[in-house]
Structure 1
Amino acid sequence: MAPIRHPGTGLFLGDPDVIPLQSINESTIHTELECALQNLILSASGWRTVFTLSGYEEDPANQIGDAHSCIVATAALVFSDYLKQKIGTPKPVIIVGQDSRPTGTAIADIIIRTLIATGCEVRYTFIIAAPEIMAYVREGSFYKIGHQRHLDGFVYISASHNPIGHNGIKFGLNDGGVLSASEAKILIETFQKTIQASDHLARLQQLLTTVHSDTITSLYEKIDVIKQEAYSAYLHFTNEVITGSQNQEIQQRVFSYIEETTKQQGMGILIDFNGSARTTSIDRYFLESLGCTVASINDKPREIAHRIVPEGESLEPCRQNLEALHEQNPAFVLGYVPDCDGDRGNLVIWDEFIKTSRSLEAQEVFALCCVAELAHMVFTGELRYDKKGNAIDKVAVAINDPTSMRIDRIAQAFDVSVFRAEVGEANVVGLARRLREQGYKVRILGEGAAGGNITHPSSVRDPIDTIGAILKLLTIRSHQDTMGLFEIWCELSGQAEAYRNDFTLSTIINTLPSFISTSAYAPEAILKIKTTDHALLKERFQYIFLHEWELRKEELASRYGIIEWEALAYNGMDERRNILNFREAGKGGLKILFRNFHNVEIAYIWMRGSGTEPVFRIMADVAGKDYRIERDLLTWLRQMIEKADNV
């Protein structure tokens, strides 16, 4: 039987006759496996490492080594067992998909075979965006979409924004999100125990021989049918997310606002797909259905033309192309760039005030989305106020610890609460769920420092929801005695004079609270440290900070108005304020919050070791427009951490 290729893209799917792991010799695999396990990062956000044979993170090759093949098969095995116990069925239905990384196909083949061998029913989508596979499994658990049985869980192969040689695995149930931190911990512990068993490799080899090549061939032949089901489910779900309603009349009302404005004034959107999984998704169809004119570059899967993370230099091709398009057609004012799995994306805009295109910071994008979604809640009556202007409804925004305090200022204008969790999508989603159980309405949540928003009922960041929020903000305009979204924001934030009928996206951005935040992917925000015990590092940092504070407090007060500080720790879904021992932050986030003479929080410095990359991240967030303060605080933080690392 010959190797099989995908009929639409021509990309290699696999060779059904080649059984994985059969050529591995147990006497030679031990050292290689031990090394691979040391470099494997296991977290609720995903299991990640460099999978390419060369070990080089920028290697675009598609083959993976024996040790990583063993790791992948073990991961699939433990997830199969976990899901069977969790839902109480011996034959769960599992969706398997991948982003557009070259190693994804080899990893998927092993996962599919292992799941089938353990009795699971597998449906394979091939290349699919992360929000799409999660919408598919969620929607499939509520109603029939072509099959008699609902969907029980998913395995998604991706390393998100990491370089192309990286890859990883995400696991989830049918609630449409990745496993919670507590559930992920169970899976990780089982994996670590399983892979160390002396007879484990032999068991895997025997298990994989039970899967017939005809079964794999049949699975590959159904890819287009399964992918179309996922596409339809995602489109259906996106309509609900962006409009905030399952009611088709309400959906049509919201979309009619967008269509009316886009058709009257024109709306051109450029997408730099960068060869990501979104090349196979709903973006173009959805936006064109709303009256937008869509242009795209790098729009073939695996046509990865530049760095994957949609930050900084990665936005330049989109920015330059948007500028050229705007010269030809002034309707082109917006562009976006997703990461490889398509669950986040950052924006470029045409700024008419400076007469050129520019990239937006991730924190800026999230702030715009918060304004849009909170104003939409006011517009629809989900967020109401009494005669004194106090919110009647209990509304909250859930964010991660390095999200800018700009969000707190926005929330204050709407009189809603802000809650923070440790970095990690699972933590923020879990926090939002907990808040809903406490009676809060949580429409928008996310990780501002990383870019992208999560809009309820979605449980994952999604650039199409980001664009949807921006379109609502631009197109749901004031009519007679009804205020549009931007006017609602202007009124509530005390900027009524800033509203004008011919407002643009640049007009809106200029009304956002002013903050300077370190970009999460700026070189100066990333440290390589030797200390593996992050709790110990933070304990050392505390002694250094306390000494430095005494030396600098008069200068900080006179130059920046900083007169006091408070230490906060973030672990999982919990925030602890005014901690006395910085060691309590452990592997989580540690923040030093600064206040001024009026007891107003005006800045912070923050640190945390990445859970998905071998780096230590730092940042500063400062109210105002003076970049020098942010640079000073960040440099100071960096020097103190480096000193603590060298103790």
Structure 2
Amino acid sequence: MKHMKHDMILSPSGWRKVFASSGDEKDTFPDIGEKNRIIAALAADTFADYILAKRQNPAIILGIDTRPTGPQIADTMLRVFMARRIAVSYAGIIAAPEIMAYAHTADAFVYISASHNPIGHNGIKFGLNDGGVLSAEENASLIRAFEAKCDENNAGERITEVMSKCSEIDLEWVFAESVAVMREATSIYRSFAKTTISGTDILPKQNKFFALVRAFVSENPLGVVCDMNGSARTLSIDSSFLREIGMNFMAINNRPGQIAHEIIPEPENLVYVASEMERLQAEGRKDIKIGYMPDCDGDRGNFVVWNGRTNKAEVLKAQDVFALSVLSEIAYTIYMNESLPDRPSSGGALQPNTNGGTETKIAVAANCPTSMRIDDIAAAFGASVFRAEVGEANVVNLAREKRNEGYTVRILGEGSNGGNITHPAAVRDPLNTLFALLKLIFIQDSERGDGLFHLWCKASGQMDKYESCKNDFTLIDVLDTIPKYATTGVSEKRAILKIKSEDQATLKKRFQEVFEAQWDAQKDTLKKKYGFESYEAVATNGTDEKRGIGDFSESGRGGLKILLKGGDGKPLAFIWMRGSGTEPVFRVMADVSSAVPDYIQAERKLLEWETKMLLKADAI
């Protein structure tokens, strides 16, 4: 075995491949085979070089999700780390937000997971002690080192010799200590969750926030249902945390590894938790109001809410979940921070601070294909929106950059995938999303000031809607007030293309030629039918967004968006494209405002138009 061909997809969001020894992405057998064992060992050796160059005597934490191949990958990587004299704590099965919170106590973490990919896949995420995965730049450096190791002569023999130097007695001790590690991680994660949800690390203020929650649910019983789908969250704090606050909590598919259906938490898989909510409601459990489903590593989660008008459980679209979270957390930032500008007046944006305090600039960081719903919401509150390329690491690092520029960025995330990241967390967490949604209900008008939904309705000029339901509003009422858009779902078949071109920059240059010809030929029709009078091309690479690019190939392997604008120059819609960094597919989508006539049909037509142009460009 001279050179090792690793066939991994390497991105800042994680290194992923089918680790099942059969090569079948649906395979549930735990064996990874010799080749994959060598690949995992070389990845560990690469990270060992990286962390030893940064720290003397480093300590790292390693954990897995519930995929069947996780234990064998973990055993392999532990042997390398221990042979390299790195102190490693093994957390076993642990949710991604939990290990990343726990990582604050160490120098780095390694997490074995393929997130939402099918069960035969697995992968590796690397991070330091800042609570998030490595930046795109740091990850790129790691990738180069890993590929160099794979290209070495006798790579397999060399790394096998390294692993042989691991003491079996020491390895047994690490496994024996994993129970204590998991217990400590749970305690730290619980404290971190309280800080993130409440927005303060001051214990009396946290207690005041959660006392408000307990008081509300004591008068308005609230039941939460989770379809764990055998994920790492089966061993996390969800049940105990919510019950301590006074909520009723139920779960289905609640054993680790009990993966009952596809892993990705999109509408086609949220039907199971919706069905359970409807079953419980039919049995008289009128407290059942909200449900969620995480992916296998327990960070991404999407939601279902009870619709009392239809007596049905309503699956929320990923973009709507993020929009509601943005609405809630911007309003909560205003509600909690007296140094912010004054409360919005009816029908207008925030007014300047007249109290002599330092004005805080509120901002949201999102990925490029996040719907323009959030731009409209942010504008109503006088907040800014900044965009990065797809990839959680890109959004997290963009938020950090903007904080360094003086912005308050409490809410960030990838609206195209759902869920949200709430600062100081640097990873998505269903609990943070759950509380973002519930804050809209819990925090109502009081002596402190207007509640969150009240603040939103004032800012967006919808006080009539607030007045009509202010005494008993639900999340469905809040949902009715957010800007209306038709947006392609990330998991829809029509959103995924197979492209032959390997050079994405060249493909996008060819797409530009096709698009410009189509625009010239159809601009009168586009204006008459949809109101589009101009366009602007936007490229996102890492944390950098370039507006008004003249050469579409500037987007390279990053995101390319075409904003379609009305006569006033404001965007009415966009089409977007990017090759996936974690799967061998090319993703496309369209986002269309309800200001466009027949906007739901327009979204379908625009996506069809984009697809035809891309396939034509691919064939050139």
Q: 1:382 to 1:562 in 2, by over 3 A?
A: farther
What residue identity is the alignment partner of 2:9?
Answer: I
Q: What is the alpha-carbon distance in structure 2 between the residues aligned to residue 208 and residue 168 of structure 1?
A: 20
- Give the aligned partner of residue 578 of structure 2: 608
Which of residues 451, 458, 481 is equivalent to 1:484? 451
- Give the aligned partner of residue 57 of structure 1: 25
Q: What is the alpha-carbon distance in structure 2 between the residues aligned to residue 477 and residue 289 of structure 1?
A: 22
| Deviations, residues 440-472 of structure 1 (Å, cap 9, x unaligned) | 111000000011100000000111100111121
Which of residues 189, 202, 206 is equivalent to 1:234? 189
| Deviations, residues 415-439 of structure 1 (Å, cap 9, x unaligned) | 0110000000110001001001111
- Give the aligned partner of residue 171 of structure 2: 216
Which of residues 471, 474, 481 is equivalent to 1:501? 471
| Deviations, residues 127-155 of structure 1 (Å, cap 9, x unaligned) | 100000000011x1xxxxxxxxxx11000
User: Would the aligned equivalents of 2:41 and 2:80 in 1 still touch at CA under 8 Å?
Assistant: yes
Which of residues 351, 364, 367 is equivalent to 1:390? 351
How far the C-alpha of 1:481 sits from its partner, in A, is 6.4
What residue identity is the alignment partner of 2:329?
Answer: E
Q: Does 1:131 align with 2:135?
A: no
Secondary structure of residue in 2 paired with 1:346: strand
Q: Does 1:342 align with 2:308?
A: no
| Deviations, residues 545-566 of structure 1 (Å, cap 9, x unaligned) | 0111112211111111111100
Secondary structure of residue in 1 paired with 2:131: coil
Q: What is the alpha-carbon distance in structure 2 between the residues aligned to residue 235 and residue 460 of structure 1?
A: 15
- Give the aligned partner of residue 564 of structure 1: 534
- Give the aligned partner of residue 509 of structure 2: 539
How far the C-alpha of 1:508 sits from its partner, in A, is 0.5
Moved more, 197-206 or 343-352: 197-206
- Give the aligned partner of residue 251 of structure 1: 206
- Give the aligned partner of residue 328 of structure 2: 372
- Give the aligned partner of residue 473 of structure 1: 440
Q: Does 1:109 align with 2:79?
A: no
Q: Does 1:580 align with 2:550?
A: yes
- Percent identity over paired residues: 47
- Give the aligned partner of residue 631 of structure 1: 604
Q: What is the alpha-carbon distance in structure 2 between the residues aligned to residue 48 and residue 481 of structure 1?
A: 49
How far the C-alpha of 1:383 sits from its partner, in A, is 6.3
User: Would the aligned equivalents of 1:383 and 1:395 in 2 still touch at CA under 8 Å?
Assistant: no
What residue identity is the alignment partner of 1:390?
Answer: Q
Q: What is the alpha-carbon distance in structure 2 between the residues aligned to residue 643 and residue 626 of structure 1?
A: 25
Report the number of matched residues: 602
How far the C-alpha of 1:386 sits from its partner, in A, is 4.9
Moved more, 551-560 or 527-536: 551-560
Normalised by the size of structure 1, how large is the TM-score?
A: 0.91
How far the C-alpha of 1:382 sits from its partner, in A, is 5.4
Q: Does 1:318 align with 2:318?
A: no
Q: What is the alpha-carbon distance in structure 1 between the residues aligned to residue 568 and residue 506 of structure 2?
A: 34
How far the C-alpha of 1:353 sits from its partner, in A, is 2.6
- Give the aligned partner of residue 355 of structure 2: none
Q: What is the alpha-carbon distance in structure 2 between the residues aligned to residue 390 and residue 516 of structure 1?
A: 31
| Deviations, residues 234-255 of structure 1 (Å, cap 9, x unaligned) | 0000000000000011111111
- Give the aligned partner of residue 645 of structure 1: 618
User: Would the aligned equivalents of 2:527 and 2:533 in 1 still touch at CA under 8 Å?
Assistant: yes
Unpaired runs of at least 5, structure 1: 1-25, 141-150
Q: What is the alpha-carbon distance in structure 1 between the residues aligned to residue 212 and residue 607 of structure 2?
A: 44
Q: What is the alpha-carbon distance in structure 1 between the residues aligned to residue 171 and residue 549 of structure 2?
A: 55
- Give the aligned partner of residue 416 of structure 1: 383
RMSD in angstroms over aligned alpha carbons?
1.3
- Give the aligned partner of residue 373 of structure 2: 406
Secondary structure of residue in 2 paired with 1:441: strand
Q: What is the alpha-carbon distance in structure 1 between the residues aligned to residue 250 and residue 130 of structure 2?
A: 33
How far the C-alpha of 1:626 sits from its partner, in A, is 2.8
- Give the aligned partner of residue 159 of structure 1: 114
Which of residues 311, 321, 331 is equivalent to 2:287? 331
Q: What is the alpha-carbon distance in structure 2 between the residues aligned to residue 563 and residue 353 of structure 1?
A: 40
What residue identity is the alignment partner of 1:443?
Answer: R
How far the C-alpha of 1:122 sits from its partner, in A, is 0.8
Secondary structure of residue in 1 paired with 2:557: coil
Moved more, 493-502 or 396-405: 493-502
Q: What is the alpha-carbon distance in structure 1 between the residues aligned to residue 351 and residue 431 of structure 2?
A: 32
| Deviations, residues 20-69 of structure 1 (Å, cap 9, x unaligned) | xxxxxx37xx5xx42xx2x3111111100111111111111111122211
In the TM superposition, 1:77-88 aligns within 5 A as: 77-87=45-55
Q: Does 1:94 align with 2:64?
A: no
Secondary structure of residue in 1 paired with 2:568: coil
- Give the aligned partner of residue 12 of structure 1: none
Q: Does 1:199 align with 2:154?
A: yes
What residue identity is the alignment partner of 2:370?
Answer: T
- Give the aligned partner of residue 308 of structure 2: 352
How far the C-alpha of 1:110 sits from its partner, in A, is 0.3
- Give the aligned partner of residue 13 of structure 2: 45
Q: What is the alpha-carbon distance in structure 2 between the residues aligned to residue 311 and residue 62 of structure 1?
A: 26
How far the C-alpha of 1:78 sits from its partner, in A, is 1.1
Which of residues 233, 252, 261 is equivalent to 2:216? 261
User: Would the aligned equivalents of 2:38 and 2:160 in 1 still touch at CA under 8 Å?
Assistant: no
Q: What is the alpha-carbon distance in structure 2 between the residues aligned to residue 452 and residue 585 of structure 1?
A: 26
Unpaired runs of at least 5, structure 2: 353-358
What residue identity is the alignment partner of 2:10?
Answer: L
User: Would the aligned equivalents of 1:377 and 1:383 in 2 still touch at CA under 8 Å?
Assistant: no
User: Would the aligned equivalents of 1:382 and 1:393 in 2 still touch at CA under 8 Å?
Assistant: no
Q: What is the alpha-carbon distance in structure 1 between the residues aligned to residue 178 and residue 129 of structure 2?
A: 20
How far the C-alpha of 1:600 sits from its partner, in A, is 1.7
Normalised by the size of structure 2, how large is the TM-score?
A: 0.95
Q: What is the alpha-carbon distance in structure 2 between the residues aligned to residue 471 and residue 235 of structure 1?
A: 18
- Give the aligned partner of residue 356 of structure 2: none
User: Would the aligned equivalents of 2:233 and 2:297 in 1 still touch at CA under 8 Å?
Assistant: yes
Secondary structure of residue in 1 paired with 2:77: helix
User: Would the aligned equivalents of 1:336 and 1:345 in 2 still touch at CA under 8 Å?
Assistant: yes
Q: What is the alpha-carbon distance in structure 2 between the residues aligned to residue 278 and residue 323 of structure 1?
A: 23
Q: What is the alpha-carbon distance in structure 1 between the residues aligned to residue 338 and residue 236 of structure 2?
A: 31
Secondary structure of residue in 2 paired with 1:169: strand
- Give the aligned partner of residue 293 of structure 1: 248
